[in-house]
Amino acid sequence: MVAHRNQPFYARLRFALRGVAHGLHSQASLRFQAAAAVGMVLVLLVLRPAAVWWALVLLASAMVLAAELLNTAIEQLADELHPQQSPGIRIAKDCAAAGVLLASLGALATGAALLVHLLRSHT
């Protein structure tokens, strides 16, 4: 894996995009979260909120997708290095899944705050 170090930007970008493609191909939860992010962009295009709301929603969506990808990486690495059951590996996987849960709850809270803001501004 040393070959991945000190590569030009386009090569590192290719590695990252390969990781995204693997995650989308192998993880139903990542596909769901990506579809939700696209759905939120469509909602933003229709509702046309202030730029700060765009930033908050896109940042929250990116956090969820990043958490899903990190969770996938941790699970893949743990399964590769330690295929048998292990309490320590289980805890690592549970913590990674908890990170996804917290990021998702934060994104839902951001969406709820946007909804409240829009409802209050139209009354």
Per-residue pLDDT tens for 96-113? 999 999 999 999 999 999
Per-residue pLDDT tens for 60-85? 999 999 999 999 999 999 999 998 98
Has residue 4 been placed in a domain?
no
Q: Which of 68, 69, 100, 110 is catalytic?
A: 68
Has residue 73 been placed in a domain?
yes
Has residue 92 been placed in a domain?
yes
pTM of the complete model beyond 0.85: yes
Q: How many CB atoms lie within 10 A of CB 100?
A: 22
Instruction: List the domain range (segments joined by +) for residue 59.
Output: 28-121
Has residue 1 been placed in a domain?
no
Question: Whose CA is closest to 65, among 94, 92, 27?
Answer: 27
Question: Could you tell me the CATH number of the domain that includes residue 41?
Answer: 1.10.287.3610
Has residue 12 been placed in a domain?
no
The count of structural domains within the chain is: 1
Across the range 113-117, mean pLDDT stands at 96
68 in catalytic set: yes
- Give CA–CA dist 7/3, Å, rounded: 8
